[in-house]
Amino acid sequence: GEAPVAWLQVARTVGRRLERRLVELKEKEGEDSVRAFVLSYVNRLSDWLFVLARWITMRLGESEVLWQPVGERDGSGAEGIRIQRQHGDIGSAIDDL
């Protein structure tokens, strides 16, 4: 897609990573370590970034690339599998984003 859309997707990915880390912190340090509204805000922010990226794509007249599970792809998704193998697991591949 276009650069603004790509950057919004990166920002959304970082937001989701933050959300996971906040949940980990809350589980480790207790309920009072992270206020509930913070988790809600981060979750809504990443949702909004996703919708904004879709809207910009539509306004630019571009088409969306639909995600498909690996087993249902036509073979053109080999890049994602290569990245996953390079890192050993999907978690470390995502951390490098």
- What pLDDT, on a 0 to 100 scale, did the predictor assign at position 67? 75
Burial tier of 97 (Cβ tally within 10 Å: 0-12, 13-18, 19+): exposed
Amino acid (1-letter code) at residue 61:
G
The string of pLDDT tens digits covering residues 70-81 is: 777 765 555 555
Indicate the pTM of the whole model. Answer: 0.64
| pLDDT tens column, 2-56 | 789 999 999 999 999 999 999 999 999 999 999 989 999 999 999 999 999 999 9
Using pLDDT thresholds of 50, 70 and 90, give the confidence band for residue 91: low
Could you give the CA distance from residue 8 to residue 55 in angstroms, rounded to a whole number? 11
